[in-house]
Amino acid sequence: MKEEIIIAGFGGQGVLSMGKILAYSGLMQGQEVSWMPSYGPEQRGGTANVTVILSDERISSPVLNTYDTAIVLNQPSLERFESKVKPGGTLIFDGNGFHKFPTRTDINIYRIDATEYAFANNAAKTMNMIILGGLLKVRPIVQVANVLKGLKKSLPDRHHHLIPMNEKAIQTGMELIQKVN
């Protein structure tokens, strides 16, 4: 198994941490993992993206230009990465603030309105976990149990009480995601 994923959005949306949680989840199920952030002069409000690779084999290039799965959380990221999904691959977008929508017909496109849901339910900080839940519904590349184990390993003890809230967000995401095409 090998999954090459790009997650892209605005700085502050939890793009890098979502990638980190995926990477830790892969680690928990004994896979090879790589997590490569765009580390340019990004800041809150700017763009941020991260390439995450989970593989049963040794990973060669941590830098890619085509992906099995793209998760795009803002318009510029959709414009940049829609064309870079491999044919037959998966594109997941959060429709918040979009005025142009994906048009490809040779990939599986899913919409998840996680931002809207998170704000309506006063849980803005779980937005990225809702998206992760959506991803795992349509691409079950890591088991939810391993995501939770990964969270436990990556979070400092003082934040462990937040893990059930994140688990709930994953479940919410699994219910929210909708196939578009």
Residues of this chain that bind other proteins (CB under 8 A) = 20, 23-24, 27-28, 30, 32-37, 39-41, 58-66, 154
Provide, rounded to whole angstroms, the least separation between the CB of residue 159 and other proteins.
17
| C-beta closer to other proteins: residue 99 or 158 | 158
> Cα(first)–Cα(last) distance of the chain, in Å?
25
Provide, rounded to whole angstroms, the least separation between the CB of residue 95 and other proteins.
29
DSSP string, the chain: -EEEEEEEEEBTSSHHHHHHHHHHHHHHTT-EEEEEE--SS--BTSEEEEEEEEESS----S--SSEEEEEE-SHHHHHHHGGGEEEEEEEEE--TT-SS----SSSEEEE--HHHHHHHTT-GGGHHHHHHHHHHHHS--S-HHHHHHHHHHHS-GGGGGGHHHHHHHHHHHHHH-EE--
Provide, rounded to whole angstroms, the least separation between the CB of residue 4 and other proteins.
10
| C-beta closer to other proteins: residue 12 or 40 | 40
| C-beta closer to other proteins: residue 58 or 99 | 58
Provide, rounded to whole angstroms, the least separation between the CB of residue 173 and other proteins.
23
| C-beta closer to other proteins: residue 45 or 63 | 63
Provide, rounded to whole angstroms, the least separation between the CB of residue 154 and other proteins.
8
| C-beta closer to other proteins: residue 32 or 116 | 32
CA–CA distance, 94 with 77 (Å, rounded to integer): 11
